[in-house]
Amino acid sequence: MKRKILKNKPLVEAIFEIRWKLLKELRTGLKVDPNYKLLIGRIYDKVKEEYPCYEQLPTASMPDEIAGYIVQHRFRKDEDNWPLIQIGPGIITLNDTEGYTWEDFERRIRHLVDILQEVYPDSQNNLKITQLILRYIDAVDFDYQNEDIFRFLKEKLKVYVQIDKRLFSNTGVNRLPHNFDLSFSFSSTEPKGAILLRFLRGKRKDKDALMWETIVQSNDDDISFNREKIISWVSKAHILTDDWFFKMIEGELLGRLE
């Protein structure tokens, strides 16, 4: 079922991530990607028409031996704008923000997977996928001084968290939390892996906000690169995150965001 696009969507960022196996270097025993330096230029040659703005991140100065799974280079659609692609040893990501729609994001994922398969040397044998991740970060403004975050989580997001009032009785402790960070992880069969939920206090456009992350990740694995399996996994991961998101915001919060 096609979802209605929210006029006031709470999305902060959507992220798709592929991780692949690093190889142990005989001299140091540390894990590296022997094709990484070659990969940077090859990726840029393929994406520069759609992501022409190249940015070297401060992490690029890190030696490859200690930079595993840390992004070091970025290719943007426009300067200081999204969507963008990031790459580091053993990792490549696709990121988008306010302009996100699933149809466009999925198209870009397919394109990125095709490019990685094409440019990585002998990808069928050398590119061993260890993890796929689809992650959404959302936020809504929240007044922590005057509103009860536990009531909001229960009534607006279907998350029931309760701390017994007796803990605060005669202690002089304010029962409204100064800060919080709640996380949950659940096994998933469709797609195979896990779904994680995280709720925390944060900022959005310099305002206090309730932030929540919905993350689907594949099991830690070591499988040969398979385009069709990756695309299928991503599609199922999106169906799951989409289902949970709209179930959580159903009611008054959905009306506020429409």
Interval 46-56: pLDDT, tens? 999 999 999 99
Q: With 80 as the cut, is the pLDDT of residue 4 above it?
A: no
Interval 139-175: pLDDT, tens? 999 999 889 999 999 999 999 998 888 998 889 898 8
What is the value of pTM for the model shown? 0.93
**Angstrom distances, CA of residue 114 to CA of 14, 37, 110, 123, 231:** 20, 19, 6, 11, 10
Half-sphere exposure of 59 (CA within 13 A, CB side): 15
Q: With 80 as the cut, is the pLDDT of residue 2 above it?
A: no
Where exactly are the structural domains of the chain? 11-168+175-257
Rounded CA separation 146/87 (Å)? 42
pLDDT of residue 236: 96
- At residue 1 the predicted structure's pLDDT band, cuts being 50, 70 and 90, is low
pLDDT of residue 95: 98
pLDDT of residue 197: 97
Interval 83-103: pLDDT, tens? 999 999 999 999 999 899 999
